[in-house]
């Protein structure tokens, strides 16, 4: 796969791998598979977990003689250790070689591991330019009491995490692409370091097979936490019903991204409005069933976006209309995720022109 490089200013795409926390897999998926191999940021990596539930994300090639440690190559997890298929070196969840079959473990045999964090049962890893450590963490996860389990769905397409997250501030597309009514900004977009918040109200009719099932009056509060992780708190005011939708974009190889949508719904105790069949269900079943019903509608919205994302070109100097709102506020916020790479002597190297271009384009 080709990797997008820095191009002349008018057509330049953002560098393909902005710094940030990126989703890799749910804890459930890792515990079930024990060992997962993936391509992430143009590199082969493995994700595995030991018997105590410690999760390790590491390069997938063995520091001994370079064998692939992934499951397709014969890598496996045995007694809580990752075992290389070539000469049987064993690694702990910190990436250290702790045993070999025929000799003491060499101290220098150590996997390059990535920082990880867990957030509502989702495993994220930190991608730093030049391997730099994370200067910020994802905030505390929202309370889970009374909320359904996450419904998780992933789709892969050619795209970029900056472009997908930009839709959070692009109010015009909600009307034009998704057909929402009365889309109105409630407050200006707010940025604070790595966080951006976008609040707006909208209304929509949800139909299945041409039959109008629900008309919804909604308030959305989007939290963008870097370019890999956003979540939207959505409150439906007429039922009332609270939902959360995580939109997680993870670069694969410089061209493709995996976009994961994770959704959950809060228990509905006293609906003000009748929803077919809901009143007959025990409270504990309402949220999971509503989540199963609403998640495909969310996926439909994402598919509509994917049609555009897959084919669009990045415009560093977009010709905006008055209806576009705060696209450039968002672009300024994004520039922090492209720090200049350091040269070998520790000084900033030339080459990552994108932040400067992005900021200059504000002045046009
Ligand atoms: S290459 Fe992994 S143990 Fe030899
Ligand atoms: Fe959208």
Predicted pLDDT at 277: 62
Ordered alpha helix ranges (H), the chain? 27-33, 161-166, 171-176, 283-311, 327-334, 354-362
The bound ligand whose nearest atom lies closest to the alpha carbon of 99 is 1
Q: Which residues are 197's β-sheet partners? A: 190, 223
- Residues 6 or more apart in contact with residue 108 via CB below 8 angstroms: 63
The bound ligand whose nearest atom lies closest to the alpha carbon of 105 is 1
Q: Which residue has the higher pLDDT, 213 or 221?
A: 221
Predicted pLDDT at 206: 66
Q: What is the mean pLDDT of residues 67-71?
A: 98
- 20-131 matches 151-311 in fold: no
Contact 279, 290 (CB under 8 A): no
Query: Which protein residues have a CB closer than 5 Å to ligand 2 (ion)?
Result: 167, 305
Q: How far is the CA of 215 from the centre of ligand 2 (A)?
A: 19
Q: What is the mean pLDDT of residues 300-314?
A: 95
Q: Given pLDDT bands bounded at 50, 70 and 90, which one contains residue 7?
A: very low
The bound ligand whose nearest atom lies closest to the alpha carbon of 73 is 1
Helix, strand, coil % in the chain, rounded to nearest 5: 20, 35, 40
Give CA–CA dist 18/355, Å, rounded. 11
Q: How far is the CA of 298 from the centre of ligand 2 (A)?
A: 9
CA-closest residue to ligand 1 atom 1: 65
Q: How far is the CA of 144 from the centre of ligand 2 (A)?
A: 26
Nearest-atom number in ligand 1 for the CA of 87 is 3
Predicted pLDDT at 238: 82
Nearest-atom number in ligand 1 for the CA of 100 is 3
Ligand 1 proximal residues by C-beta, below 6 Å: 62, 64-67, 84, 86-87, 89
What integer best gives the mean pLDDT of the chain? 87
DSSP notation for 283-302: HHHHHHHHHHHHHHHHHHHH
Give CA–CA dist 111/172, Å, rounded. 47
Fold of 151-311: Naphthalene 1,2-dioxygenase Alpha Subunit; Chain A, domain 1 (3.90.380)
Nearest-atom number in ligand 1 for the CA of 84 is 2
Predicted pLDDT at 363: 41
Predicted pLDDT at 325: 77
CA-closest residue to ligand 1 atom 4: 87
Nearest-atom number in ligand 1 for the CA of 88 is 3
- Decide if pLDDT at 27 tops 80: yes
- Decide if pLDDT at 345 tops 70: no
> b/e for 146-166, b at 16 or more Cβ within 10 A?
ebbebbbeeeebebbbbbbbb
Q: How far is the CA of 213 from the centre of ligand 1 (A)?
A: 58
- Decide if pLDDT at 269 tops 80: no
DSSP notation for 106-151: PTT-B--EE-EEEETTEEEEEE-GGGPPPSS-PPPPPP-TTBPPPE
Predicted pLDDT at 350: 42
Q: How far is the CA of 355 from the centre of ligand 2 (A)?
A: 25
> b/e for 242-264, b at 16 or more Cβ within 10 A?
bbbbbbbbbbbbbbbbbbbbbbb
- Decide if pLDDT at 267 tops 80: yes
User: Dmax of the chain from CA atoms?
Assistant: 70
pLDDT digits (tens, 9 = 90+) for 112-153: 999 999 989 999 999 999 999 999 999 988 999 999 999 999
pLDDT digits (tens, 9 = 90+) for 170-188: 999 999 999 888 888 999 9
Q: What is the mean pLDDT of residues 226-234?
A: 96
Q: Crossing angle for the helix pair 354-362 and 327-334, nearest 10 degrees?
A: 150
pLDDT digits (tens, 9 = 90+) for 72-90: 999 999 999 999 999 999 9
CA-closest residue to ligand 1 atom 3: 87
Q: Which residue has the higher pLDDT, 66 or 14?
A: 66
Q: What angle do CA 266, 268, 270 make, to 5 degrees?
A: 150
Q: Does domain 20-131 have CATH number 2.60.40.60?
A: no
Q: Is 307 exposed, middle or buried (0-12, 13-18, 19+ CB in 10 A)?
A: exposed
Say how many CA atoms lie within 13 Å of 329 toward its Cβ: 18
- The residue count of the chain comes to 364
Percent of the residues in the chain that have a pLDDT greater than 90, as a whole number: 67
Tokens at 63, concatenated: 């520091």
Give domain limits for the chain.
20-131, 151-311
Predicted pLDDT at 61: 98
Q: How far is the CA of 114 from the centre of ligand 1 (A)?
A: 20
pLDDT digits (tens, 9 = 90+) for 151-171: 999 999 999 999 999 999 999
Mutate to test the pocket of ligand 1, among 67, 78, 101, 108 (most ligand atoms within 8 A of CB): 67
Q: How far is the CA of 262 from the centre of ligand 2 (A)?
A: 15
Nearest-atom number in ligand 1 for the CA of 62 is 2
- Decide if pLDDT at 207 tops 70: no
Say how many CA atoms lie within 13 Å of 352 toward its Cβ: 19
Nearest-atom number in ligand 1 for the CA of 66 is 1
Mutate to test the pocket of ligand 1, among 65, 74, 76, 110 (most ligand atoms within 8 A of CB): 65
Nearest-atom number in ligand 1 for the CA of 69 is 2
């Amino acid at each position: 796969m080709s990797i997008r490089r820095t191009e002349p200013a008018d057509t330049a795409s953002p560098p393909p791998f902005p710094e940030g926390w990126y989703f890799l897999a749910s804890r459930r998926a890792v515990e079930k598979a024990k060992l997962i191999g993936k391509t992430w940021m143009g590199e082969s990596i493995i994700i595995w977990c030991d018997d105590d539930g410690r999760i390790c994300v590491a390069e997938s090639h063995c520091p001994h003689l370079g064998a692939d440690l992934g499951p397709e190559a014969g890598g496996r997890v045995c007694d809580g250790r990752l075992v290389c298929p070539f000469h049987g070196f064993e690694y702990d969840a910190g990436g250290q070689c702790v045993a070999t079959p025929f000799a003491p473990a060499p101290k220098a045999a150590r996997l390059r591991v990535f920082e990880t964090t867990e957030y509502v049962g989702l495993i994220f890893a930190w991608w730093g330019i030049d391997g730099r450590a994370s200067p910020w963490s994802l905030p505390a996860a929202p309370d889970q009491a009374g909320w359904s389990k996450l419904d998780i769905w992933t789709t892969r397409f050619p795209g970029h995490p900056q472009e997908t997250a930009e839709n959070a501030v692009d109010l015009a597309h909600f009307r034009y692409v998704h057909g929402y009514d009365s889309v109105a900004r409630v407050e200006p977009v707010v940025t604070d370091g790595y966080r951006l918040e976008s609040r707006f109200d909208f209304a929509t009719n949800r139909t299945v097979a041409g039959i109008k099932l629900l008309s919804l009056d909604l308030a959305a509060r989007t939290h963008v936490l870097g370019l890999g992780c956003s979540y939207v708190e959505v409150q439906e005011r007429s039922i009332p019903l609270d939902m959360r939708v995580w939109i997680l974009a993870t670069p694969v190889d410089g061209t493709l991204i995996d976009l994961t949508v994770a959704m959950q719904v809060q228990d509905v105790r006293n609906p003000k409005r009748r929803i077919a069949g809901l009143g007959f269900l025990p409270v504990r079943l309402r949220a999971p069933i509503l989540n199963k019903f609403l998640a495909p509608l969310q996926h439909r919205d994402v598919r509509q976006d994917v049609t555009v994302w897959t084919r669009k070109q990045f415009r560093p100097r977009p010709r905006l209309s008055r209806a576009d709102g705060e696209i450039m506020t968002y672009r300024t916020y994004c520039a922090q995720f492209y720090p200049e790479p350091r040269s070998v002597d520790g000084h900033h190297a030339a080459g990552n022109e994108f932040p400067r271009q992005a900021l200059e384009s504000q002045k046009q």
